[in-house]
Structure 1
């Protein structure tokens, strides 16, 4: 059984890496960290022209119509370069529109997204800090053919850059059966977006405050939870792919430094302690690839094990990324803690990935539940 990528997918990888090395060097990453938006619109437009933004969007809506396995290739390279962009939030919003939107909504929204002219995001988390149905309190009251939303969402990915947000709101009673998804325009009356400070300066998050903001139903009323669960699985696999790219890069940096750093007349890489750290990192990287590629395949094929595979991937890759990025700092020694070296940037991204949409412990519990334990 061959689990390798196709020739076309490997060509896509080399093309993406070459593009990002040229268009998004670490100097640009550091520059964008200091800006309000945290990304460069011109670069986003180029990514759209290359088909990355609309990779999963069907051709009839202006996209490439490819699969999540193809997308993983791109996401790995984005994680490798710490690309500052609204891609993660836009991916979730796009998936929600694809899964739940009417044909009219898809035709209105998706071509603009694929062209890079419209950015989406997904707002789910509230004050409790989890994505459980019982913690969603933001209300949406029906008003004619539309809804009015009132409440607050936290940690919205690139909320300040999104043109349209998919908001999970309570339209019915308690539990999962009372959740609906609604489209809210960021520039609409009653919408306030406040950028939030976070450890990872390469990826923006925001607080979304709604005070009677107008919203358009996406999917069936009180039927939004199933869509969110599918979007969450896609987001978990995307985070896992991002973690692989970052883990592989810090491994390469560690091995390179271990060969170059001379101490007492010898490279530090000759010492067993350093060798074994790098070996453990490689094992974690390769194991991360195995579980994430399987999860991406399951997602693309729509198999029953998708939720289980996504949870396993997120649990393992989060731990692996945190550990490899931490070991990268240790192998670099004192300079690994300095601002001038990039070690801390990968460590911060790893910590952000670790807690986004559930930490490793939470996903291990989810795996156990899916195993009926």
Structure 2
């Protein structure tokens, strides 16, 4: 990391530490939307997290996705619910890559300041996040119909961005969430730190943004951004497990002193660090528009999801009885691992993308 990124990491960690002082993850998870809004205003106002990857001409800081990665890494450590992934990354990058200058100037400055929250409605109930099969269809008059699932932070959104199929291909539309023909409802999730919802549109009026399909690029950005959260959560889960192993005494000595436990923890350290390396390599490739960026994004989606699932499963096992109690945070990290693995496409879908790329490369070289 650069010195600036290290300073950003410590700034975000400091804000989160003050926000969660004397509060457990359970307290933060069960907090009201007002608490979320207060933290988001601090993160946007004092640090500018929502504008890190937004060009300066649209009110952002003009940094890059690497800086966004640092923030998401820290948010993943504490499982803190914020609109960072759904609003600043998913919706913000969708607007940027729709190639609509007027829309960027109208939407992004308020999004960067934290005054506006946006949500991207995209995939159907199957959750495959295919860039060419959105949940909605649009008429020539801009009327949208369909039902999207897994919409992040939709209950907070002031603006809905909707991916819909048109006669010219998939396009992005702006929809008023309070307009006629729009229904949104929250859903109960396994991971209570992740707030998802369903958006039903019935001939709702939409405003088309740009003339391109931004979803392929946005999916890669979203997968890599999610991998940063997964790495942060895995690292923290391992830290908590190591701390427990050094203090839990059995047969007259800390359990971390037993070779079998020490080896398992060492293996988990390798898993976490390899996931971190791949995640940061993937975001670097996105920032530099490297030709292999889409492959690294798919690889990060697979490996980081599996890493978090492995670490959190071991966390529960090595904590013994307290690892399966509601009061301990182990189950919260485990549920985050399970829920995150299904966002933006299941790992097996990204494995299929990688396999297809390998086959295409072999064919072209034959």
After TM superposition, the score normalised by the length of structure 2 is 0.94
User: CA separation in 1, counterparts of 2:300 and 2:257?
Assistant: 33
- Matching of residue 294 in structure 1 with residue 281 in structure 2: yes
User: CA separation in 1, counterparts of 2:5 and 2:134?
Assistant: 39
- Go from structure 1 to structure 2 and tell me whether the alpha carbon gap of 1:334 and 1:86 turns closer, same or farther (over 3 Å shift): same
Alignment of 1:40-189 (within 5 A): 40-49=36-45, 50-90=47-87, 91-132=89-130, 135-136=133-134, 138-143=136-141, 147-172=142-167, 178-189=169-180
Aligned with 1:355: secondary structure?
Answer: coil
User: CA separation in 1, counterparts of 2:344 and 2:129?
Assistant: 7
- Matching of residue 365 in structure 1 with residue 359 in structure 2: no
Shift of 1:25: 4.8
Where does structure 2 lack aligned partners over 5 or more consecutive residues? 361-366
User: CA separation in 2, counterparts of 1:18 and 1:33?
Assistant: 19
User: CA separation in 2, counterparts of 1:283 and 1:306?
Assistant: 24
Cα deviation, 1:145-172, whole Å, max 9, x if unaligned, reads xx11111111111111111122111112
Aligned with 1:27: secondary structure?
Answer: coil
Cα deviation, 1:170-219, whole Å, max 9, x if unaligned, reads 112xxxx6211111121122111110111110010000011111111112
User: CA separation in 1, counterparts of 2:110 and 2:135?
Assistant: 31
**Structure 1 residue aligned with 2:2:** 6
- Matching of residue 31 in structure 1 with residue 38 in structure 2: no
**Structure 1 residue aligned with 2:363:** none
- Matching of residue 233 in structure 1 with residue 228 in structure 2: no
Q: Which moved more, 1:36-45 or 1:249-258?
A: 36-45
**Structure 1 residue aligned with 2:321:** 334
Pick from 271, 281, 290: which aligns with 2:268? 281
Aligned with 2:282: secondary structure?
Answer: helix
User: CA separation in 2, counterparts of 1:96 and 1:129?
Assistant: 18
User: CA separation in 1, counterparts of 2:179 and 2:32?
Assistant: 21
- Go from structure 1 to structure 2 and tell me whether the alpha carbon gap of 1:361 and 1:149 turns closer, same or farther (over 3 Å shift): same
Alignment of 1:212-361 (within 5 A): 212-220=203-211, 223-224=212-213, 227-361=214-348
Q: Which moved more, 1:75-84 or 1:127-136?
A: 127-136
After TM superposition, the score normalised by the length of structure 1 is 0.92
8 A Cα contact 2:186 2:197, kept in partner: yes
Shift of 1:29: 3.9
Aligned with 1:183: secondary structure?
Answer: strand
Shift of 1:95: 0.3
**Structure 2 residue aligned with 1:191:** 182
Where does structure 1 lack aligned partners over 5 or more consecutive residues? none
Shift of 1:134: 6.2
> What count of residue pairs does the alignment treat as equivalent?
358
- Matching of residue 210 in structure 1 with residue 207 in structure 2: no
Aligned with 1:302: secondary structure?
Answer: coil
8 A Cα contact 1:330 1:336, kept in partner: yes
Shift of 1:294: 0.8
8 A Cα contact 2:72 2:84, kept in partner: no
Shift of 1:32: 4.3
- Go from structure 1 to structure 2 and tell me whether the alpha carbon gap of 1:191 and 1:366 turns closer, same or farther (over 3 Å shift): same
8 A Cα contact 1:29 1:84, kept in partner: no
Cα deviation, 1:9-33, whole Å, max 9, x if unaligned, reads 1111112112111113582642343
8 A Cα contact 2:153 2:197, kept in partner: yes
- Go from structure 1 to structure 2 and tell me whether the alpha carbon gap of 1:26 and 1:104 turns closer, same or farther (over 3 Å shift): farther
Q: Which moved more, 1:118-127 or 1:19-28?
A: 19-28
Shift of 1:372: 2.8
User: CA separation in 2, counterparts of 1:302 and 1:26?
Assistant: 43
8 A Cα contact 1:44 1:116, kept in partner: yes
- Go from structure 1 to structure 2 and tell me whether the alpha carbon gap of 1:38 and 1:209 turns closer, same or farther (over 3 Å shift): farther
8 A Cα contact 2:131 2:219, kept in partner: no
Shift of 1:36: 6.4
